[in-house]
Amino acid sequence: MRRGEVPHAGASVTARALRVLEAFTPERPVLRLAEISRHSGLPLTTTHRLVGELAAWGALEREPGGDYRIGLRLWEIASLAPRGLGLREAALPYLSDLGRITRENVQLAVREDLSVVYVERLAGRGAVPVLTRVGGRFALTPTGVGLVLLACAPADVQERALAQPLVRHTEKTLCSPEEVRRVLAEVRRTGVAVSDRQVTMDAVSIAAPIHGPEGTVVAAVSVVAHAATADPRALAPLVQVAARGISRSLGAPGLPSSVA
């Protein structure tokens, strides 16, 4: 069973409620009762009861036309996740400065198993469009933040990530495990990752690691810029300075005095 999946037959009330919430996705943020039933795989009567209870608690909100969407109460609870809240608060001043200086998209991300989860994203005026959103997930290997997080992950995580089929998003996407391993070694050597048109053909991402109080890499910060005009060599030191500032705010010990 995949991560996040909940069995249908004999499932607990909690498991069925989670199936209701999982019916909502970025592609279908607003659903009618029958659609929730279909996407969750639950009987309409069960869905009706659970949706009513979730709406009463605030996890769902009912619109005047009868449609439902995720409620603010759920967002309030989710914002308490320690890797999101404390990290985001420490990082925001540095992300804002980085966005102001570069006028590009600035992203903050963490790794959860074999995925990147985006904790924050600031969009620059006129910046290149990106596919990411706050709370969204993406594969590790094609993204700048993902390459940083994978390069600093335990060896077994790297092997599991490279054992998966590597999805080709563009003609530039690295789909060879050997190529990715070489890139990861370079990231560890330089302390910066560059993803050049691996997700879309108009964007390049430059990322650097963020260290926590234990000295381990807990997150990554990146700038996503127009591939046609960006100079990764000029952007890399700016990203690294932001990463070091966030690391200091988190209490990271023994930071290097210079950037690559």
Task: Classify residue 162: in a domain, yes or no.
Answer: yes
CATH of the domain at 36: 1.10.10.10
- How far apart CA 160 and CA 78 sit, in angstroms, is 28
Of the residues 56, 78, 100, the one at which a domain ends: 78
CATH of the domain at 236: 3.30.450.40
Given 3-state DSSP classes, what are the helix, strand and coil percentages for the chain, each rounded to the nearest 5?
Answer: 40, 20, 40
Q: What one-character DSSP code corresponds to residue 257?
A: S
Cα diameter, the chain = 63
| Domain identity same for 88 and 50 | no
Q: Which domain holds residue 205?
A: 82-250
Give me the mean pLDDT over the 221-246 stretch: 94
pLDDT tens track for 82-130: 555 578 889 999 999 999 999 999 999 999 899 999 989 998 777 787 7
Q: Which amino acid is at 70?
A: I
What is the enclosing helix (H) or strand (E) of 99?
Answer: helix 82-102
| Domain identity same for 230 and 155 | yes
| Domain identity same for 60 and 172 | no
Domain count, the chain: 2
| Confidence class for position 23, pLDDT limits 50, 70, 90 | very high
pLDDT attached to residue 132 = 76
| Domain identity same for 43 and 154 | no
| Domain identity same for 143 and 185 | yes
Q: Is the pLDDT of residue 24 over 80?
A: yes
Which phi-psi region, left, alpha or beta, contains residue 212 (left: φ > 0; alpha: ψ -120 to 50)? beta
Of the residues 34, 52, 78, the one at which a domain ends: 78
Which residue's structure tokens are 């199936």? Answer: 19
Of the residues 78, 103, 120, the one at which a domain ends: 78
Q: Is the pLDDT of residue 79 over 50?
A: yes
| Domain identity same for 39 and 148 | no
| Confidence class for position 47, pLDDT limits 50, 70, 90 | very high
The beta strand positions in the chain, using DSSP E, are: 60-62, 68-70, 105-112, 115-122, 137-139, 193-196, 203-211, 217-226
Q: What is the DSSP string of 29-83?
A: -SB-HHHHHHHHT--HHHHHHHHHHHHHHTSEEE-TTS-EEE-HHHHHHHTT-HH
| Residues sharing a CB contact under 8 Å with residue 253, sequence separation 6 or more, in sequence order | 213, 215
Q: Which of 24-28, 74-78, 145-149, 163-167 has the lowest mean pLDDT?
A: 74-78
β-bridge pairing 60-62 and 68-70: antiparallel
What is the enclosing helix (H) or strand (E) of 254?
Answer: none
Q: Is the dihedral of CA 159, 164, 169, 172 positive or negative?
A: positive
Task: Classify residue 143: in a domain, yes or no.
Answer: yes
Grouping H, G, I as helix, E, B as strand and the rest as coil, residue 85 is helix
- Closest to 162 measured CA to CA, from 181, 149, 144: 181
pLDDT attached to residue 233 = 93
- How far apart CA 234 and CA 236 sit, in angstroms, is 6
